[in-house]
Structure formats: structure tokens, C-alpha cells
Amino acid sequence: MSETTQVYRIWIKATPEKIWAAITDPEWNSRYAYMAPAHYELTKGGSFHGTATADMKAFAAANGFELPDTIMDGEVLEVEPPRRLVQTWRMLMDPSTAAEPFTTVTYEIEDARMQPGVCKLTVTHELTGAPATAAMVAGTEDSGAGGGWAWILSDLKTLVETGKNFVE
């Protein structure tokens, strides 16, 4: 097994509370990136799961494969609203990623020292023993997964700052 860690950092003109809601509230997180609502039980040991949308299921059917209702799952390991969330994470949409071990995602929200009203969001994804998941979340061309974390976080930033996502 090899250790693989991916770190993504963006600055968002918003409060920590608004960024936290965009990550953890399905009313928000279903509005950006892949539009799949993610549900959190925000207590240590709480559950995490993302659900497939009707559009995702239709795309899968049109391309000859079945998509499970639950497309991501995991467990909340640490929760310190609105600053830090650590969770396990597994992608269930693809058999190769579903067969890999759970990975760990850490979200950290900090006030940007250089600019009032701006926060730094750092996402660290520890991907030990999960090469298919690492390729998928990196958004590599051969993963077939789109833009991965870079896409997700760019769209999150756009939505939080403008009220609209990339497709609106």
C-alpha cells in the first residue's frame, strides 16, 4: 500500500458559517458540482451518505449501467462547526472505487489573515490503498470522473459567492 494525500485550497469571500452550510447542508450541497445531495449526521460517529439524483440515474441507464441509490458513504470522525470536519469517505458509483477501503477527508475553514471577510477552505483527502479513488477525485483524464475535487470546490466557491453554480 502506498500513502497518497491530495490537498486542495481555495479562498472564498464568505463567512465560515456559510461555507460550512455549503458543505454539510443538502439544501446547499445539492446545488453545486455533481448536484448529488450529501447528508451528514454531524456528531462523532455520525453517518454520511450521498444520494444519486434522477439525472444521474438516467445518465447511467442511457450508458448501460445501474447506479446505486447511495453513491457515497462514510462516518463523521470529528466535527467542530463551522471550522473543521473529518470524515471517512467511499465512492460507491463505480465497482473499482466501491471495492477500495474508506479514505479520509478533512475540511478546514479558516479566516484569511490577508483579507477580512474571506476564508480559506482546505480539503485534505488521504487516499491510502485507494488508487482508483485517488484518480477519480484528482479529476485525471483517464478516471472518467470529470473534474474531481478541483471542479467541486470551484463550483462551491462560485455558488457561495454569487448564488449561482456553473450551469445556472
What is the rounded distance in angstroms from the CA atom of residue 166 to the CA atom of residue 30? Answer: 13
The number of residues in the chain equals 168
Is the pLDDT confidence value at 1 over 50? no
Q: What are phi and psi of 59, to 5 degrees?
A: -60, -45
Q: Work out the number of other CB atoms within 10 angstroms of the CB of residue 149.
A: 19
3-state secondary structure string across 107-151? EEEEECCCCCCCEEEEEEEECCCCHHHHHHHHCCHHHCCCCHHHH
- Residue 122 makes CB contacts below 8 A (sequence gap 6+) with 7, 8, 9, 106, 107, 108, 110
pLDDT tens-digit readout, 34-44 = 899 999 999 99
* Domains contained in the chain, CATH given: 5-162 (3.30.530.20)
pLDDT tens-digit readout, 50-61 = 999 999 999 889
Classify the C-alpha dihedral 22-3-51-63 as positive or negative.
Answer: positive
Q: What is the mean pLDDT of residues 136-141?
A: 80
Is the pLDDT confidence value at 140 over 50? yes
Contact 130, 155 (CB under 8 A): no
Q: What is the pLDDT of residue 144?
A: 54
Q: What are phi and psi of 104, to 5 degrees?
A: -125, 130
Question: If pLDDT is split at 50, 70 and 90, which confidence band does 113 have?
Answer: confident
Q: Work out the number of other CB atoms within 10 angstroms of the CB of residue 58.
A: 12
